[in-house]
Amino acid sequence: MLFFSKRPTIKSLMSVKPFVVFSLLALSFQAFAKSGEVAAGEAQRWVTNMTQGVTATSHEIYDLHMLIFMICVWIGVVVFGIMFYSMIMHRKSAGAVPSKFHESTLVELAWTIIPALILVAMAVPATSTLIKIYDTSDADIDIKVVGYQWKWQYEYLGEEVSFFSNLTTPQDEIYGRAPKGEHYLLEVDEPVVIPINKKVRFLITANDVLHAWWVPALAVKRDAIPGYINDVWTIVDEPGIYRGQCAELCGKSHGFMPIVVHAMEEVDYQQWLVAKKVEAEELKLAMSQNFSMDELYARGEKVYQTNCVACHGPTGAGGVGPTLIGSSITTGPMNGHLSLMINGVQGSAMQAFGEQLNNIDLAAVITYKRNAWGNNMGDMLQPVDVLNHKRSL
């Protein structure tokens, strides 16, 4: 289980061998780390190599990676072999008498040309793989992926389905106040759902700073850049849940914006899509309804724990962001509070939530903040109020 998670085949065994050699160091220290109080499943621990993934591309990249790695290993064996041979045989203490030779054009030519030929041999498969990866034509499904500080938004183009995907690992697990779950830091509230055996194209961009959308099992990694739309594609072979992370430093919570892809059979995907659309319709209807204080408060607490907690802290006492307890915003005029939530604060980490949260969530979270932690303002906001406010802008 140390070097591969799949059943070993002849091929994978052969290719895995050098890793065994290079892992001796790691092995010898395994005993040390046994003391680590980590609850990870044994099967996943001590992974030393790239995943083979679940797409034709990821397999091809894995093979390419192993090919180049093997060539490097054999070059290393020869070069270091000669080096260690002379270090052992040509020691002064063993009475070695130094030769005087110090030049040979022929030898220099040989070790210029031979490596160049090896490089050509590497470049051929690399080029062919790259050309395939770059062919984003004829996609069955287009999903726009937008990076935000610090979450991902997925929009199914032409389907009217769009949602944000937030980290769900509780702060208590991060700060060691609760045991860490199996998918610590790699779990989200809404995974992006795709069907298997379909060409899915991701159109990747960002709203604020650079991010990078990366799922190792799909071998897809592309930078999310404001003002650019990058396109990548994948065809997933097996249903499953595939996890990845943001791969471009994007500020404070760069380590806390995972990506979860849920690949399922086409029928299941269609069902999910329908459910999503129904949900959107229901949400639209709910927008015009009035909610009770308790309903808003309960919903607001959830929204807060997902969207606000990273900066303002679990108890509203602040952190990177200012405290919300008795602040001039949360205990000030409702309109000011609402405007701030909708527009954010330019040049700070406070984002414009007007586009990120729906009107119900905005109303709920504002109501929650004004009444939680002893703020006790007693007032509340309805989604309709948010709508009217947005219209008046």
> Are 201 and 231 within 8 A, CB to CB?
yes
Read off the amino acid at residue 319. G
Query: 191 φ, ψ to 5°?
Result: -70, 160
Minimum gap (Å) between residue 153 Cβ and other proteins: 17
Minimum gap (Å) between residue 167 Cβ and other proteins: 11
DSSP annotation of 99: -
Question: Taking Cα atoms as reference points, which of 227, 260, 256 lies closest to residue 151?
Answer: 256
User: By C-beta, is 98 or 378 nearer to other proteins?
Assistant: 98
User: By C-beta, is 83 or 293 nearer to other proteins?
Assistant: 83
User: By C-beta, is 185 or 334 nearer to other proteins?
Assistant: 185
Which residues are CB-neighbours of 297 under 8 A, at least 6 positions away?
364, 367, 368, 371, 372
> Are 318 and 312 within 8 A, CB to CB?
yes
Question: Taking Cα atoms as reference points, which of 76, 77, 193, 88 lies closest to residue 141?
Answer: 193
Minimum gap (Å) between residue 360 Cβ and other proteins: 29
User: By C-beta, is 97 or 267 nearer to other proteins?
Assistant: 97
Read off the amino acid at residue 141. I
Burial 189-212 (b: 16+ CB within 10 A, else e): ebbbbbbbeeebbbbbbbbbbbbb
Minimum gap (Å) between residue 106 Cβ and other proteins: 11
User: By C-beta, is 149 or 165 nearer to other proteins?
Assistant: 149
User: By C-beta, is 127 or 315 nearer to other proteins?
Assistant: 127
> Which long-range CB contacts under 8 A does 110-117 form with residues at least 24 apart?
none
Minimum gap (Å) between residue 144 Cβ and other proteins: 15
| CA–CA gap between residue 261 and residue 248 (Å, rounded) | 19
Q: Which two tokens stand for residue 336?
A: 């000011």
User: By C-beta, is 13 or 75 nearer to other proteins?
Assistant: 75
Minimum gap (Å) between residue 163 Cβ and other proteins: 23
Minimum gap (Å) between residue 53 Cβ and other proteins: 9
